Amino acid sequence: MTDNTTQWVNQAQDATRSMHQTLQDLMGVQMNVFQRLGEVQQKAFSQAVKATNAQFQLLSRTRDPREFASAQADLVKEYGQRYVDCANQAIDITVQAWQEYGDRLEKTVNTVTDKAQRAASPSKAA
């Protein structure tokens, strides 16, 4: 009886360690995501500053309203595309993170389920 209890406790601890490790792994993923998204946000901010500077330069050197409108449209197109690129990077990072979360959780569920089934197996208890 004591051997069965000890074995069951060991298996339960093993399953708990697996879940704990997964939580630690997920925290690592989360920190990586925060870092990568921070880099994208910093890049987007930098692009916004550059766009503002370009617009001020355009204002200072352009006198004709038509020329200004045309140059302004070019700036919007150029920096708008850069903003879209940053948004796409952020989306890609988020999608990758959710995929990694799902993969790790699925692996843990399978591992813990297998361990729990082995712990509850009547052949092990006999």
Residue 124: the pLDDT is 47
Structure tokens at 48: 């916004």
> Which one has a higher pLDDT value, 70 or 109?
70
Task: Name the 3-class secondary structure at 1.
Answer: coil
Question: What CA–CA distance (Å, rounded) separates 26 from 108?
Answer: 11
Is 80 exceeded by the pLDDT of residue 75? yes
pTM comes to 0.71
CB 29 within 8 A of CB 101: yes
Instruction: Using alpha carbons only, give the angle 57, 61, 62 rounded to the nearest 5 degrees.
Output: 110
Buried b or exposed e, range 102-118, using 16+ CB within 10 angstroms: eebeeebeebbeebeee
pLDDT tens-digit map of 19-50: 888 889 889 999 999 999 999 999 999 999 99
Residue 1: the pLDDT is 54
